[in-house]
Amino acid sequence: MKIKQYRTQFIKELSPFYDAYEAESFFYLILEDKHKLRQIDLALNHELVFDESDFVLWDSILEQLKKEVPIQYILGKTSFYGLDFEVNENVLIPRPETEELVEWIINENASIDKAKKLKILDIGTGSGCIAISLAKNLPNASVYAIDVSRKAIETAKRNAVNNNVEVTFMLQDVLEMEALKCGCDIVVSNPPYVRNLEKEEIKKNVLDYEPHLALFVDDNDALIFYKKIASLAQKGLLEKGQLYFEINQYLGKEMTNLLEDMSFENIELRKDIYDNDRMIFGKVSKV
């Protein structure tokens, strides 16, 4: 069968689960990953064909997509901030909103004197996307990262090697930490922040397949990680140290109040590309 014909069949079979645009995007992601063919290649050569072994592979992927397994988990990888990352069921799939957080940190610190060494700690690193992207784009930074999941740390370590950066990864439950182990210039975290009451808003492909450990918090203590991390940062950040969080879009006011109550300065709440409150910054000032 010609690949162009199979493309039409592929999109049609996914129509009960995805819109045509998304199904088509899946088709071309798979085509490039499995056959090293791009959309332009198919446009230029309508006679390209699949053989019998190709159908076995594609039909297997098609069945997974019908179960709404994320395409990133099926392919075992995704892109984030211009870099390639391995992803699996042990780590969240990085989001565009998190790229905005990384961009904010880089823009704020790229102009710092290269002779000054920055120490950055990423708390709840998951795939390592934040820590690795910062290490790649801030060459004067020493980057550390922690996570409570051993398998997440193993994945993040592979991603650091594959992206040719040095990051020190540590297995650690932040809720059990008494202090930061290094005087840091920057602490960043994208901790669990989705309340159980918000589960109905979560798509099936996230709810059924991404790790709940990295997603959900109790409705009655939704800021548990933020309170702990802010407390650690308040004591462990160096003078004029920076704290960055990705946050629950519904809790921007609560997060602003939290940082104000803990005497952080220059607090800034930012919206993401979807116009949701998504990131917050605060600075410590020590005499």
Please report which residue ranges of the chain form alpha helices under DSSP H.
Answer: 3-14, 20-35, 39-44, 52-66, 71-75, 96-109, 129-137, 150-162, 204-207, 224-236, 252-261
79 - beta bridge partners? 84
pLDDT at 116: 79
DSSP result, 118-164: EEEEEES-TTSHHHHHHHHH-TTEEEEEEES-HHHHHHHHHHHHHTT
Residue 78 in contact with residue 85, Cβ under 8 Å?
Answer: yes
DSSP result, 182-200: S-EEEEEE----EEGGGGG
pLDDT at 182: 74
By the 10 Å C-beta count (0-12 exposed, 13-18 middle, 19+ buried), 219 is classed as exposed
The alpha carbon of 112 is separated from its chain's Cα centroid by a whole number of angstroms, namely 25
Coil vs helix vs strand at 251: coil
| Nearest-angstrom CA–CA distance, 212 and 184 | 29
The dihedral built from the CA positions of residue 94, 151, 31 and 164, taken in this order, carries a sign that is: positive
Q: Which two tokens stand for residue 54?
A: 């190709």
| Nearest-angstrom CA–CA distance, 148 and 151 | 9
pLDDT at 113: 65
The DSSP symbol for 268 reads: E
Ranges in the chain, pLDDT < 70: 113-115, 286-287
Residue type, 248: N
How many Cβ atoms sit within 10 Å of the Cβ of residue 223?
19
Superfamily of domain 78-283 in CATH is: Vaccinia Virus protein VP39 (3.40.50.150)
Coil vs helix vs strand at 54: helix
pLDDT at 226: 98
Where do the domains of the chain lie?
Answer: 3-67, 78-283
pLDDT at 286: 63
The alpha carbon of 84 is separated from its chain's Cα centroid by a whole number of angstroms, namely 12
pLDDT at 205: 86
The alpha carbon of 151 is separated from its chain's Cα centroid by a whole number of angstroms, namely 16
| Nearest-angstrom CA–CA distance, 268 and 256 | 8
23 - beta bridge partners? none
Residue 245 in contact with residue 255, Cβ under 8 Å?
Answer: yes
pLDDT at 200: 86
| Nearest-angstrom CA–CA distance, 94 and 128 | 9
pLDDT at 285: 75
The alpha carbon of 192 is separated from its chain's Cα centroid by a whole number of angstroms, namely 12
Which of 147, 154, 257 has its CA nearest to residue 192?
147
